[in-house]
Amino acid sequence: MAQFKAFSPRVEVLGEVVLSLVNVMGAFKRLAIGILDENGISDPQPGGWYSQQAWLDSFKAIAEKVGPNTLYQIGRQIPQQHFFPPGIDSIETVLADLDGAYRNSHRGGEVGHYRFRVLGMRTGQMTCDNPYPCDFDRGIISALAEMFEPSGSLVDVRHEDDAPCKKNDASSCVYTITW
C-alpha cells in the first residue's frame, strides 16, 4: 500500500503524535492547525485518539503546500517527544524498539510495521511498511540513530534506490543505516 493511505479506516493515532505536528511547524503552526481542521482533526488533545486517515490526509496536504522536506523535519521531531525505557541505549536497540513505540501510539486495526535488522558492525536496515510518507519515516530513523550514535561516529540514513518506494506506490521503503 502506498503512502498516505491507512490500512484500515478504523485505525486511530494518539493525540500526542498529532500535536507533535503542530509543535514542530514553527512559523507554519497556524497552517498546520488549519490543515488538521480541514481534514477533520479539530483541537487535538493529549490522550485523545484521531482518525489515522485524517492524519495522513493532513500529511499529504502539508507535503503539497509546504514540501516533502517539511515531512522529513516533522519526522525528525517525533523522537524528541518520546520517553525511552531502560535498556534503550544504542542505535540497535532504539531502532529495534521503533515498531513497538509505533504500535503504542496507534489502535484500531493493522497499522503496518517498522522492521529493523542488523546487517553488520555499525550497519543496519530498516524496512518501513506502513502508510506514512517516505520522507517522514526517514526523518524518524535519522533522528533516533543520531540520538544514540556512539561517540566519534557519523550517522548516515540512505534510502535504498534499487528497493521499492512508497512514493512510487510500493508497500514499503528500505533504508540502510550506518554509523
Domain 1-179 is in which class? alpha beta
Query: In degrees to the nearest 10, what's the CA dihedral of 72, 74, 80, 84?
Result: -70
Mean pLDDT of all residues in the chain?
Answer: 93
Cell output for 120: 553488520
**Which residues have a Cβ under 8 Å from the Cβ of 6 and sit 6 or more positions away?**
51, 52, 53, 56, 131
Residue 131 phi/psi, 5° resolution? -85, 5
pLDDT at 66: 86
Percent of the chain clearing pLDDT 70 (strictly above):
99
**Lookup result for grid cell 502539508:** 62
For every residue of the chain, DSSP letters joined together read --TT--S-TT-EEEHHHHHHHHHH-GGGHHHHHHHHHHTT--S--TT-EEEHHHHHHHHHHHHHHT-HHHHHHHHHHGGGG-PPPTT--SHHHHHHHHHHHHHHTEESS---EEEEEEEETTEEEEEEESSS-HHHHHHHHHHHHHHTPPTT---EEEE-TTS--GGGT-S-EEEEEE-
pLDDT at 82: 72
pLDDT digits (tens, 9 = 90+) for 115-157: 999 999 999 999 999 999 999 999 999 999 999 999 999 999 9
Question: What amino acid occupies position 19?
Answer: L
Hey, where are the domains in the chain? 1-179
What's the rounded Cα separation, in Å, for the pair 63 and 39? Answer: 14
The reported pTM is 0.92
pLDDT digits (tens, 9 = 90+) for 51-65: 999 999 999 999 998
pLDDT at 9: 96
Residue 83 reports pLDDT greater than 90: no
| Average of per-residue pLDDT across 92-108 | 95
Strands 12-14 and 49-51: antiparallel
